[in-house]
A = this chain, B = another copy of it.
């Protein structure tokens, strides 16, 4: 095999990757080659544009460290993350819709007790969050594991300012009570631009796009026998709900963050100052793989 030209090289590469032992590797490799070559054949990059592409991808990889994942940002801003999410999470009646994980999830979040304040002393409007976790058939899921994380009032996550604040905050792991319920105090999150001082920011600027996400609280919820739920709850009225830079907003995930006066709060605590209040009932989807094995 030699003497390839624009019209013969794709079949040559397909023949080569067709030797993959694992059928899934073969399937993905062949599709990658077909779509990648079709893209190149359509846009007909100059040598300089190809070099720019190589450099862009290199800088994207080199921007990544333990606190920054630029390739996830690229996937998010090109709508790929939400597409993969949609493919993997058809949502049955009674189950909560999903959205992107985002780049700020931390595997080892601090374990907290239901009712705790997780703001870590960050300043901002107090926020009470109450919620429940049920199966898609309505049965409460006692002991469900709830990871929660959100930004501060300026739109920054703890991991973006560890140098300044010293420790993880506005982030916790809870276990739902016997009725599948949980609640906690924190501060109200803000809309924020995704980190845009790297290659993804350059891309957004060239595409004439803003880098903002509407304010939201992240939830990741797990219970044995159910698919892990990765989602947000968005703040109703946010001006970026219709132009989320990562295409993550769904109407079913928007809630009013209600303003409440000082006094007795829904969790029985007495609030000394005005606060915001969010309630959300989450529904988890039975794990189809387990269902089939049963």
Contacts and interface: CB of A to CB of B under 8 A. Distances in A.
A42 B35 CA distance: 10
B247 A9 contact: yes
Contacts of A45: 28, 84, 87
29 contacts: A2-B249, A5-B86, A6-B86, A9-B79, A9-B247, A10-B83, A13-B78, A13-B247, A16-B207, A17-B207, A19-B207, A19-B209, A20-B207, A20-B208, A21-B206, A26-B207, A31-B43, A35-B35, A35-B38, A36-B39, A37-B79, A40-B87, A47-B88, A50-B80, A57-B71, A58-B61, A60-B61, A61-B61, A62-B62
A96 to B, nearest CB: 14
Interface of A: 1-6, 9-10, 12-13, 16-17, 19-22, 25-29, 31-33, 35-47, 49-50, 54, 57-62, 64, 69, 71-72, 75, 78-88, 203, 206-209, 241-244, 247, 249-251
A81 B81 CA distance: 27
A99 to B, nearest CB: 10
B86 A4 contact: yes
A197 to B, nearest CB: 17
Nearest to A5: B86
Given A4-B86, A45-B87, A78 B31 contact: no
A207 B25 contact: yes
A57 B57 contact: yes
B79 A1 contact: no
Given A242-B2, A244-B2, A61 B57 contact: yes
A159 to B, nearest CB: 17
A204 to B, nearest CB: 9
Given A6-B83, A25-B207, 14 more contacts: A4-B79, A4-B250, A5-B86, A6-B87, A9-B247, A12-B247, A31-B43, A33-B79, A35-B38, A57-B71, A58-B64, A59-B61, A61-B61, A62-B64
